[in-house]
A and B are shown apart, each in its own frame.
Chain A
């Protein structure tokens, strides 16, 4: 009898403990909501989309801002952030600015730029990236692999010399290990990383938006830098471009042009869901 009472007491305590634990409910699982939505794009498709947006943005910045800006006397420098340098970011640093902004966003997208002949030796490809970059140089086709250590889906895309500014700057740079670049050369590759193998429509749009926001962020930083110019002539910021004179477009005008140039390809992907 005594043992039965003891057993019942323990059972009561366990039952009350379990009920009170269960009745309070657990902490909601964050990934439940996204897991229930349908994944419609493979990671490769999404990275190709965002890489194309990047190509358009970089080409526009390199040709229309840096290339034409230089003819108007505007300066672009690798040390553009230094206090005593009154200049804008070179295209590679523009891309790094975009990458920094993406990293600060909640979207888990990684973007990096490297080469086999980088100006900064620390940006030289090694290991798997170096092997895949050799293939990219042969056919300019993107390369995809899964980085098992970091558990990240990784894509590499050719970074082609598309403007005179790319070639002349790299050929003339004091620290450049290669000085015979020419237009059309694969000068390097962008590397993109994402943790999931497929993305929902919402996640895909978030990736594209984080890239676009990154573009605006770094461009805004450049415009802020101009405000602090003391010795150099400040370009007029509005709806005109350097091709027309000492002008620079606002971030909105710049982004609008990027969207006009890239949106058709991206939209095609976004609306053609099988």
Chain B
């Protein structure tokens, strides 16, 4: 019979152990309950209850098919590659829960050519520009001076503000509109008419970090919860 050397025996046992450990790790990490270990960071405000699959849907095909398709794409025998593991998260994922008819700044509008320059400064075509996920906050954009990219020529007739918008713009005494105006327009909120009543920047920053909502809690539309979202998908 064959004579098995001790080195080969150790290699064999090591190989088997490696396969078992590999499969166990793979199995554990793909469990729904292992989400917190796989996640790249804690969820943003309002998203804490979501499970991974709410945004990260399984990609089409099985693992082997995905490998084969991407190799084919790499060697040029296929027109397009495929997502590996899970599908890329796009603005459509966000809109499945957050789409509302009254959005003042819907993403799609910024696809128009006339916003080309503004989009170079702040890409409002996608939600993650301002709401990057897994940062345990509400708004992740670093500076809130983005309004000026489109509203630099603003003219307000019968201006209700005690110091007119025109004066503020001429004297360059404005930095953002957010201290008075809610970007998405989803709050039932009385806009202040006196400059002294505007929301202090510190409060805005705390709100962006996940703190109390200075525009109030009375909202016109509430984003869907995971169960509502699933129900909506089932009804389609």
Contacts and interface: CB of A to CB of B under 8 A. Distances in A.
A110 B109 CA distance: 9
Contact of A81 (B60, B82, B101, B116): B101
Contact of A22 (B68, B82, B108, B220): B68
Residues of B in contact with A, size category:
35 or more
B108 A27 contact: no
B74 interface: no
B78 A29 contact: yes
Contacts of B102: 81
Contacts of A100: 101, 106, 108
A54 interface: no
A27 B114 contact: no
A150 B68 contact: no
Contact of B111 (A24, A126, A150): A150
A24 B113 contact: no
Contacts of B155: 121, 175, 177
Given A100-B101, A175-B156, A114 B68 contact: no
5 contacts: A21-B64, A21-B67, A31-B80, A121-B155, A128-B113
A201 to B, nearest CB: 22
Nearest to B149: A122
B111 A193 contact: yes
B151 interface: yes
A29 B67 contact: no
B65 interface: yes
B153 interface: yes
Nearest to A218: B101
Contacts of B66: 27
A138 interface: no
B64 A27 contact: no
B86 interface: no
Nearest to B188: A83
Contact of A26 (B78, B99, B153): B78
A125 interface: yes
B64 A97 contact: no
Given A81-B101, A100-B106, A129-B114, A122 B69 contact: no
A74 B108 CA distance: 31
Interface string A19-36: 011101111111100000
Contacts of B113: 127-129, 147, 150, 154, 191
A27 B95 contact: no
B201 interface: no
Nearest to B71: A21
Contact of B157 (A81, A147, A174, A193): A174
Interface in B49-67: 60-62, 64-67
Interface in A29-71: 29-31
B110 to A, nearest CB: 10
B107 to A, nearest CB: 8
B60 A20 contact: no
Interface string B67-87: 111011000001110100000
B154 A126 contact: no
